[in-house]
Every structure is written in structure tokens, then in C-alpha cells.
């Protein structure tokens, strides 16, 4: 038998071996990925922010059943509210967040996807940032509001606040009683400043719109987070 036959046979076995090794390595790699990097897995409150987090959050829009199921998986206390007209503004798929990981300075009531994003943000953005930069975990969060039937300031475009699809965050208070304010600590070269910058950076991977003091003077004292049509991060 010509030796070329044996060479071909060995090469074929080697080729098959490489394909199997590749499949095995690929499978190992996939198994180590968090749920947020697997598009076929539902949004997981315990999975760090990954490639498909934002897509999965946006997929909760017009999908109240999946949104409520997510909030149940996250273990928070919430009440779905009926649709209503508030002046010129129409409110759909509203949810009241009664109890989550933190206390809020005011009622938290908005679209279900916004509430879902907020709960995910508490766990996967705020808690890790506090662990990295602060001596004590966060206890409460101050916000300036969610629903406001108005246009974007200085434009004719409807604000995401007009459908309760945005929240303005002003400050964080730790278990030890220290308050970190965006208006005071954003510019500071301190751990508190680094805490706020980490939150702003990572919020961009979760919300569609994330604006902070560097955007304009109107945002000098808060972060604006929304789930609108446009993706921006400033």
C-alpha cells in the first residue's frame, strides 16, 4: 500500500481530533459565561451585566408577564398598576416598587421595564461599586422623580419622564450614615467620586440613556437613566 494512503489517514484522524477538541473547548468556555452573555437565557437578577443585558431589559417592554416574572425572580415586592391618563400623558404598564434591596427617598412607580432595570442596577451596579469604593454598603437612595408630564428641557420632544420611563438619581446613603451626593462628590478626587463614576459608567451598559453632570448644567446634581428609543451615555 502506498505510504501516501497512510499519511492521508493520519491527517484525517488529526483533523477530526482538532474539531472535537475545538467543540469541547467551546463548550467549556460557554459553560463559564454568565447568563447575561447567553441570549437564549431569560434576564437573571443575579447575573453580572453582560453582552445581552440591555437587549433583555428592552425585551421586557410590552411584555408585562415576563417583566413581572423577572421581578418575582429578583425577590422584590411590587404591585402592577392599571393604565391611566394623567393630564396630557398616558401611563402604560406601570408598576409600584414597594420593597427592594434599598430604601428610596420617595415612591418608586414607573414602567415595569424601568423598575426591572432599577432592581438589576441595585444588585449589579450599585452594590459592587459600594464594595469597591466605600467602607459600608448602601442603605438608601435619593431620587428626584420618575413621572413628569413634560418635554425634554429646551426641546419639543417628549421626555421619557412623560411615560414614567426614566428616573433621576441624586444621592446614596450608606449603612454607616454617610451620604454621597452627585452635586458635591462627582468632581471630587476621592473614593466617593470614584464610586459615582463607576456607577455612571456601568449604568450605560444597562439603561438606554444615561446622563450625568458632564452632559449639561441641567444634570449637575443627578444621574438621568431611561429606557427610551435612543441609546446615549454622557
Among 143, 168, 199, 204, binds Zn ion (CB under 5 A): 168
Q: Report in angstroms how near the CB of residue 64 gets to Zn ion at its nearest.
A: 24
Stretch of 30-38, 133-141, 166-174, 178-186 lying at the interface with Zn ion (CB under 5 A): 166-174
Instruction: Spell out the long-range contacts of 199-206 with Cβ–Cβ below 8 A and sequence spacing 24 or more.
Output: 199/125, 199/126, 199/129, 199/223, 202/49, 202/124, 202/125, 202/129, 203/121, 203/125, 204/233, 205/49, 205/53, 205/54, 206/49, 206/53, 206/54, 206/57, 206/117, 206/120, 206/121, 206/124, 206/125
Residue 151 phi, psi (nearest 5): -90, 165
Residue, CB closest to Zn ion = 224
Stretch of 7-15, 111-119, 158-166, 175-183 lying at the interface with Zn ion (CB under 5 A): 158-166
Q: Report in angstroms how near the CB of residue 105 gets to Zn ion at its nearest.
A: 15
Q: Report in angstroms how near the CB of residue 141 gets to Zn ion at its nearest.
A: 15
Q: Report in angstroms how near the CB of residue 199 gets to Zn ion at its nearest.
A: 15
- Check residue 224 for interaction with Zn ion (CB under 5 A): yes
Q: Report in angstroms how near the CB of residue 208 gets to Zn ion at its nearest.
A: 13
The pairing of strands 209-211 and 232-233 is parallel
Query: DSSP state, 22?
Result: H
Q: Please, which residue, 60 or 166, has the CB nearer to Zn ion?
A: 166
Binding stretches for Zn ion (CB under 5 A)? 166, 168, 224
Amino acid at each position: 500500500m502506498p505510504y501516501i494512503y497512510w499519511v492521508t489517514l493520519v491527517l484525517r484522524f488529526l483533523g477530526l481530533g482538532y474539531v472535537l477538541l475545538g467543540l469541547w473547548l467551546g463548550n467549556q468556555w460557554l459553560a463559564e459565561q454568565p447568563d447575561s452573555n447567553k441570549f437564549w437565557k431569560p434576564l437573571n437578577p443575579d447575573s453580572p451585566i453582560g453582552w445581552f443585558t440591555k437587549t433583555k431589559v428592552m425585551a421586557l417592554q410590552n411584555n408585562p408577564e415576563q417583566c413581572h416574572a423577572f421581578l418575582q425572580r429578583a425577590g422584590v415586592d411590587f404591585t402592577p398598576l392599571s393604565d391611566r391618563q394623567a393630564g396630557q400623558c398616558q401611563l402604560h404598564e406601570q408598576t409600584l416598587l414597594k420593597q427592594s434591596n434599598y430604601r428610596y427617598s420617595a415612591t418608586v412607580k414607573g414602567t415595569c421595564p424601568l423598575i426591572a432595570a432599577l432592581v438589576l442596577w441595585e444588585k449589579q451596579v450599585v452594590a459592587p461599586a459600594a464594595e469597591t469604593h466605600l467602607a459600608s454598603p448602601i442603605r438608601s437612595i435619593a431620587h428626584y422623580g420618575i413621572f413628569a408630564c413634560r418635554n425634554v428641557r429646551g426641546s419639543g420632544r417628549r421626555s421619557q419622564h412623560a411615560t414614567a420611563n426614566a428616573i433621576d438619581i441624586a444621592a446614596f446613603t450608606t449603612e454607616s450614615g454617610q451620604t454621597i451626593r452627585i452635586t458635591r462628590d462627582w468632581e471630587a478626587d476621592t473614593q466617593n467620586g470614584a464610586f459615582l463614576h463607576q456607577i455612571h459608567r456601568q449604568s450605560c451598559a444597562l439603561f438606554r440613556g444615561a446622563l450625568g453632570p458632564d452632559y449639561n448644567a441641567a444634570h449637575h446634581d443627578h444621574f438621568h437613566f431611561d429606557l427610551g428609543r435612543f441609546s446615549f451615555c454622557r
